[in-house]
Amino acid sequence: MGASWLEVDTLIRELDTLAEFPHADALPAVLRARQLLGQTAMVVSLAGLSDEAQAETEAHDLLARARVAMLDASTAVRRARETVELSRATRAQASALIAEARALRARDRSRGTLSVGRSPSPVADTTALARVREPAAAS
44 has a pLDDT exceeding 80: yes
List pLDDT tens digits, range 73-91.
Answer: 999 999 999 999 999 888 8
pLDDT mean across residues, the chain = 85
* Mean pLDDT value of segment 83-106: 89
Asked if residue 116 belongs to a domain, the reply is no
Q: Is residue 126 very low, low, confident or very high in pLDDT (cuts 50, 70, 90)?
A: low
Asked if residue 124 belongs to a domain, the reply is no
9 has a pLDDT exceeding 60: yes
* Mean pLDDT value of segment 84-99: 89
Q: In angstroms, what CA-CA distances link 28 with 12, 24, 66, 77?
A: 17, 9, 14, 10
Asked if residue 133 belongs to a domain, the reply is no
Asked if residue 115 belongs to a domain, the reply is no
118 has a pLDDT exceeding 90: no
Number of compact structural domains in the chain? 1
* Mean pLDDT value of segment 52-60: 89
Asked if residue 105 belongs to a domain, the reply is no
Asked if residue 125 belongs to a domain, the reply is no
Asked if residue 135 belongs to a domain, the reply is no
Residues 6+ apart with CB under 8 A from 44: 1, 4, 5, 8, 59, 62, 63
Question: Which amino acid makes up residue 104?
Answer: L
| pTM as predicted | 0.64
| DSSP letter for each residue of the chain | -HHHHHHHHHHHHHHHHHTTSTTGGG-HHHHHHHHHHHHHHHHHHHHHH---HHHHHHHHHHHHHHHHHHHHHHHHHHHHHHHHHHHHHHHHHHHHHHHHHHHHHHHHHHTT-PPTT----PPPPP------PPPPPP-
29 is in which domain, residue-wise? 2-86
**Neighbour-count burial of 46, counting CB atoms closer than 10 A to its CB (0-12 exposed, 13-18 middle, 19+ buried):** middle
Asked if residue 132 belongs to a domain, the reply is no
